């Protein structure tokens, strides 16, 4: 690089060393706009040797688009005093252009223009990049300042503020009160408090609230910014504010759909429970009805004895107590829609849930166990009703899992973990969950059940509700070994040292088995596994073809087998049928009845069976009896306390299989009428 021997200086002095060592770009231009001198930094930036610059006009390197403006400014510099500023694209080696920002001034003593330049190429590129980022951001970028005297104002707001707040950045920067006036009264206090706290602690500011714009539009916005402290004691926040109105609409719609899904899940449970609840209510109601009619007839006939009153009253009170317990269980189920947050006893809540379904599951032969591994109450905080729905859903899934097992068992365990967490586990002895679907069982609408048998909502809903408690739901399962679901939720107060939880019995080690209802046992004699009971005649005249049993001892006209897992119902049927010359042998399930029939198939003329029973239900019993291909089959009558039984459909589909159908609660007239019709000669 060739350098002149002496630089041109305004005062003609010797070489100015600063001209040579400066990192800024210096040059001198004559009145013909030709280079006279350029410092090394200028040469290095452009990548040209000194002779290249000195042999060319200044405009040789100015981009054509910028030349008109630069010519005008330099002409003004030659003809007037004072600094002139301009910028232009300046060509370097390899046709690379640099954006230079210039300051030029004429030296009157020699007529030369002395100019200095800065390369602002990167600065302009970064500024444009920042501008694009700001303009393409989902919200408005802002800079907000609070003075030590708490005066506040916006230093900057990006153009997106127009679409969010319906005002321009200029208006906002001019008058901050407009911004605060848009905030709803419900949210304004919190906003100001958060600003003050952020300034005092220099912590991130984050606020979500509502605005009403000058055009009357309601907007949900979310603002987030980082504060920094200035030397003068003021605080400046750099942040962004976005419009989340659409997100709030989606959240509201999602909440709505969630409520619908929860409602549908509850309806699915209602459908599952309806038949069982009806059966459980109709059974004791039948007992109450039957013995009330007996009491009425004994009074009318003048045959009422004091011991009759006590016996009948005991049976009626016991049955009405069962109905009351079922109603309490229904109240528990109805609370599944209750979102009230409260502290409640976990064991008590689960006991109430099981009170509704234990006997229902028993009808399907499912043994339901509850083990509470403590003598004290376990308190948790949350929605009792929603936790009840979780328990119902898990039990429903467990019931489905064990439905094909010979000895189905579902076990619920409640315990305290060392971490201060309450754990509820629901285990079944079903076939387990296939490995290929384990990762998907909590996904909404995923189900392994056949079409129309599963919604795919239950476990997803359980996961959501347990999360609301601050807990988690997990599971263990292996093919052929059943499944166990764990619900872990924080304990509110811990185990209180109070009285033992009610209804706990049958202690085994540190665990206690909860029995929502004690099993009612019949006091009767047994013949080949059957109970035979004779009772006094039920009064009242019933016009049938059946011969009445007289007071004197004589053989019964008919022999009947009766299967019902309700002992009191068996006793009631014995009394009714004995009074009409039918000897009755009772069983608690269809399997035992079938064995008795096989032993002496010609002895019995009548079989009466409940549909829902453990071990073998009534429908299977009817099939098995027909499979015996007896030369003289006994007449078959089915009874049910279910509420979703279509009687006509049952008769139509089974008219070749059964001879009568009775809905509970039934009266003596109902029983004798159907029995009479069945026993009539063909």
Contact 495, 377 (CB under 8 A): yes
Per-residue pLDDT tens for 224-249? 999 999 999 999 999 999 999 999 99
458's CB contacts (< 8 A; 6+ apart) are 265, 268, 393, 396, 397
Query: Which range scores top for mean pLDDT: 274-278, 295-299, 484-488, 567-571?
Result: 484-488
Mean pLDDT for all residues in the chain = 80
What average pLDDT score do residues 116-129 get?
Answer: 88
CA distance 55 to 32: 12
In the chain, the percentage of residues whose pLDDT exceeds 70 is 80
pLDDT at 24: 79
Query: Band of the pLDDT at 316, cuts 50, 70, 90?
Result: confident
CATH 3.30.930.10 holds for 525-679: no
CA distance 399 to 397: 5
Residue 494 has pLDDT above 80, yes or no: no
Query: Which of 2-6, 394-398, 468-472, 488-492 bottoms out in mean pLDDT, i.e. has the lowest?
Result: 2-6
pLDDT at 305: 86
DSSP 242: E
pLDDT at 218: 94
Structure tokens given for 257: 């759909």
Structure tokens given for 9: 């200086």
pLDDT at 514: 38
Residue 149 has pLDDT above 80, yes or no: yes
CA distance 395 to 459: 11
pLDDT at 517: 31
Query: Band of the pLDDT at 655, cuts 50, 70, 90?
Result: low
Query: What are the start-end ranges of the E strands in 497-565?
Result: 504-508, 511-514, 525-527, 530-532, 558-563
Q: Which of 518, 522, 587, 590 is nearest to 358 (CA)?
A: 518
Fold match flag (137-243 vs 525-679)? no
pLDDT at 503: 37
pLDDT at 495: 40
650's CB contacts (< 8 A; 6+ apart) are 638, 661
Between CA 640 and CA 642, with CA 641 as vertex, the angle to 5 degrees is 95
CA distance 469 to 489: 6
Going by DSSP bridges, is the β-strand pair 377-383/97-106 parallel, antiparallel, or unpaired? unpaired
Q: Which residue has the higher pLDDT, 220 or 612?
A: 220
What average pLDDT score do residues 481-496 get?
Answer: 80
What average pLDDT score do residues 493-501 get?
Answer: 40
CA distance 376 to 373: 9
Radius of gyration for the alpha carbons in the chain, expressed in angstroms and rounded = 46
Domain residue spans of the chain: 17-124, 137-243, 254-514, 525-679
CATH (residue range 254-514)? 3.30.565.10
What are the angstrom distances between the C-alpha of 584 and each of 172, 574, 591, 620?
A: 93, 6, 17, 21
The CATH architecture that domain 137-243 belongs to is 2-Layer Sandwich (3.30)
pLDDT at 373: 75
Residue 611 has pLDDT above 60, yes or no: yes
pLDDT at 532: 29
CATH (residue range 17-124)? 3.30.450.20
Per-residue pLDDT tens for 511-557? 333 333 323 222 332 223 333 232 222 333 334 455 555 555 568 89
Per-residue pLDDT tens for 327-377? 766 666 655 555 678 888 888 888 887 877 887 788 778 888 888 777 778
Per-residue pLDDT tens for 575-592? 899 989 999 999 999 999
């Amino acid at each position: 690089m060739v350098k002149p021997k002496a630089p041109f200086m305004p005062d003609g002095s010797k070489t100015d060393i600063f001209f040579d060592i400066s990192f800024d770009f210096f040059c001198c231009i004559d009145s013909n706009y030709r280079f006279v001198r350029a410092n090394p930094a200028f040469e290095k930036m452009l990548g040209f040797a000194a002779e290249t610059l000195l042999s060319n006009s200044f405009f040789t390197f100015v981009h054509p688009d910028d030349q008109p403006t630069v010519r005008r400014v330099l002409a003004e510099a030659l003809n007037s005093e004072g600094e002139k500023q301009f910028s232009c694209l300046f060509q370097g080696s390899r046709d690379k252009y640099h954006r230079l920002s210039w300051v030029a001034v004429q030296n009157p003593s020699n007529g030369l223009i002395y100019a200095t330049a800065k390369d602002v190429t990167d600065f302009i590129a970064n500024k444009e990049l920042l501008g694009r980022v700001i303009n393409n951001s989902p919200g408005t970028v802002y800079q907000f300042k609070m003075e030590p005297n708490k005066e506040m104002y916006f230093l900057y707001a990006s153009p997106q503020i127009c679409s969010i707040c319906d005002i321009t950045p200029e208006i906002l920067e001019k008058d901050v009160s407009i911004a605060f006036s848009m905030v709803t009264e419900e949210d304004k206090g919190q906003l100001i408090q958060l600003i003050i706290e952020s300034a005092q602690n220099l912590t991130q500011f984050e606020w979500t609230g509502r605005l009403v714009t000058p055009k009357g539009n309601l907007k949900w916005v979310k603002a987030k910014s980082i504060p920094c402290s200035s030397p003068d004691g003021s605080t400046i926040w750099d942040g962004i504010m976005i419009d989340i109105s659409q997100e709030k609409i989606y959240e509201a719609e999602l909440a709505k759909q969630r409520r619908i899904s929860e409602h549908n899940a509850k309806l699915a449970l209602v459908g599952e429970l309806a038949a069982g609840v009806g059966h459980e209510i109709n059974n004791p109601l039948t007992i109450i009805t039957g013995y009330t009619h007996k009491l009425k007839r004994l009074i009318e006939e003048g045959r009422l004895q004091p011991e009759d009153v006590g016996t009948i009253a005991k049976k009626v009170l016991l049955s009405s107590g069962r109905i009351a317990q079922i109603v309490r269980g229904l109240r528990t189920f109805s609370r599944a829609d209750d979102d009230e947050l409260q502290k409640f006893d976990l064991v008590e809540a689960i006991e109430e849930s099981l009170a509704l379904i234990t006997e229902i599951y028993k009808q399907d032969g499912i043994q339901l166990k509850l083990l509470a591994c403590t003598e004290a109450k376990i308190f948790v905080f949350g929605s009792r009703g929603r936790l009840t729905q979780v328990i119902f859903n898990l039990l429903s899934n467990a019931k489905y899992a064990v439905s094909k097992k010979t000895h189905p068992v579902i076990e619920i365990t409640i315990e305290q973990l060392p971490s201060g967490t309450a754990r509820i586990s629901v285990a079944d002895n079903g076939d387990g969950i296939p490995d290929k679907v384990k990762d998907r069982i909590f996904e909404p609408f995923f189900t392994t059940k056949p079409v129309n048998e599963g919604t795919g909502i239950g476990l997803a809903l359980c996961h959501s509700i347990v999360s609301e408690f601050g807990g988690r739901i997990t599971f263990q399962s292996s093919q052929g070994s059943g499944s166990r679901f764990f619900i872990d939720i924080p304990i509110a107060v811990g185990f209180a040292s109070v009285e033992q939880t009610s209804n706990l019995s049958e202690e085994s080690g540190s665990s206690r088995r909860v029995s929502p209802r004690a099993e009612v046992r019949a006091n009767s004699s047994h013949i080949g596994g059957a109970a035979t009971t004779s009772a006094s005649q039920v009064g009242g005249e019933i016009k049938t073809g059946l011969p009445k049993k007289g007071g004197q001892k004589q053989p019964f006209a008919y022999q009947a087998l009766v299967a019902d897992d309700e002992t009191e119902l068996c006793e009631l049927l014995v009394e009714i049928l004995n009074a009409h010359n039918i000897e009755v042998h009772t069983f608690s399930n269809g399997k035992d009845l079938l064995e008795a029939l096989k032993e002496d198939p010609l002895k019995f003329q009548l079989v009466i069976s409940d549909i829902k029973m453990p071990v073998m239900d009534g429908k299977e019993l009817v099939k098995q009896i027909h499979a015996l291909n007896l030369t003289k089959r006994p007449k078959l009558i089915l009874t049910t306390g279910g509420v979703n039984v279509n009687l006509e459909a049952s008769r139509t589909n089974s008219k070749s299989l059964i001879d009568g159908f009775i809905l509970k609660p039934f009266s003596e007239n109902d029983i004798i009428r159907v029995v009479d019709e069945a026993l009539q000669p063909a």
